[in-house]
Structure 1
């Protein structure tokens, strides 16, 4: 048998990240999206502390990869119910977290699914979760927000307008993707920094959420499509 290129094999860091994810989570059905199973944690705060200990850093962002956040759940539900959005098309799941949205797209026949994250644990979680659901999602640690998401024909994002700085980078990225012809869909559970005037609502759901992470047991979550910018006034 020919030697397999070492570039195709996970390195020690990748294996360690995957082992950490498996140890910190367990497989479970996703509430409101029972078609998908994810490796999820039971205690957000405890896992957050464990992650900081494992990385040797304080002040890390929450372990988004270990939970099904409302925005992603809503987008996944919408994609599963409307497979024509992704079937046969190239899809980008940006700020993918657990990979829930990308997995939903793969389950509904996307030609290919790429998941982008800046957290190596998230990339490990996406790989594990894709395997758990019997689909392929190509995940990588990368920050794409200075580009336009090309060549993906569909750009999907879960809950990304939760912080002013994040929103300030995300909206121009999504606008560039839309301007080159991509279908851009996001999910949002009422975050303060979503510019609603730039979007058209496609659906709204009452999504069950993790009590440790939100302020209610259910969050009204809207699936939005980015629309073309209005021409400047003359």
Structure 2
């Protein structure tokens, strides 16, 4: 049984700005219809008017629940990113020791991101917009992944698996830069040729740099 790290026990998301009545059924209906519409036509090509027509609501009624198309996209994006984060936390929690947790982090982020973003090309439009426009859902996701990484490094330092001389925040920042091309969908699409071997090679390189 792997040691569970404190920051890995709960994954929370803020699903973007909402407004109006707290009617979750209607919100869910809008998001479900929007997801289906985005899958057919893409996020950029879909307007709130298109969604209103598809659902059978007025555009004004949709605006009672979401302030913009981006707010709907934020909720869909947050759900997609939570799937990746859930995979990552499960893989890391199931590993023994900080070195293996770090290897699992690299491997799972790449595999889950590839599966989620590229098996559904239309939803990739949403992920791309989230990354390029720095949506809150994407930024919060990146911060939570950095939190997972921070916990792994703390565990490794406490167990004397990793060196302690370099400031922790500096180490987290450097390793995150190595991970970032596989977290950001705009960068990930240019990394197809390396996804089979990159996680193992990069995690091994990082672990050598962390050795005492």
| TM-score in same-fold range (> 0.5) | no
Q: Greater Rg, structure 1 or structure 2?
A: 2
TM-score (norm 1): 0.28
TM-score (norm 2): 0.31
- Tell which has more relative contact order, 1 or 2 (C-alpha 8 A, sep 6+): 2
Greater strand content: 1
